[in-house]
Amino acid sequence: MRAIMVGAGLVVASLTVGCGFELRGDVELATRMRSPHLEAADRYTPFFGQLSGALEGAGASLASSSESASAVVHIHRDETGHNVLTISARNTPQEYEVFYTIEYSVTAAGAEILPRQQLTLTRDYAYDESAVLAKQHEERDLRESLARDLAALVTRRLVAL
């Protein structure tokens, strides 16, 4: 029995190595993105905080002004909200959709290196009117998750510049 388990483990290991699977590892920003400045109307949104953290995690040192920055990430739009997806026969919401939309562009040395890009992510959740507080917390957590996912998408795009 033990020999079968060891043999199966070796087969799985050899297939994994042979298929080209590789851990992603750390992302590395391009030189012009090493000291970016984030420009936004509201610096206290979930997306702004997540993007700042993601860029710093990728090795960027955020510049305090656009004059001292190697590039400027302009956040033109940073909106979140929810829509009703379904209602019950009693005309009460049963499901909501939470959305998060951002629009951004990147300039470096006065030239636009990435034109305006818009990203929207959505998640839906079941609503229970007997657990209003719990559902408010769930919606807040979903917004933070969407902001984290959007920040990861933008960071991967900036790595590719």
Q: What is the pLDDT of residues 92-140, one digit of tens each?
A: 899 999 999 999 999 998 899 999 999 999 999 999 888 989 999 999 9
Burial 14-49 (b: 16+ CB within 10 A, else e): eeeeeeeeeeeeebebeebbbbbbbbbeeeebbbbe
The answer as to whether 143 is a domain residue is yes
The answer as to whether 19 is a domain residue is no
The answer as to whether 152 is a domain residue is yes
CATH number of domain containing 84:
3.30.160.150
The answer as to whether 36 is a domain residue is yes
* Span 35-90, pLDDT tens digits: 999 999 999 999 999 999 999 998 899 999 989 999 999 999 999 999 999 998 98
The answer as to whether 61 is a domain residue is yes
The answer as to whether 13 is a domain residue is no
Q: How many domains does the chain have?
A: 1
The answer as to whether 18 is a domain residue is no
Domain of residue 41 covers: 28-159
pTM: 0.80
The answer as to whether 99 is a domain residue is yes
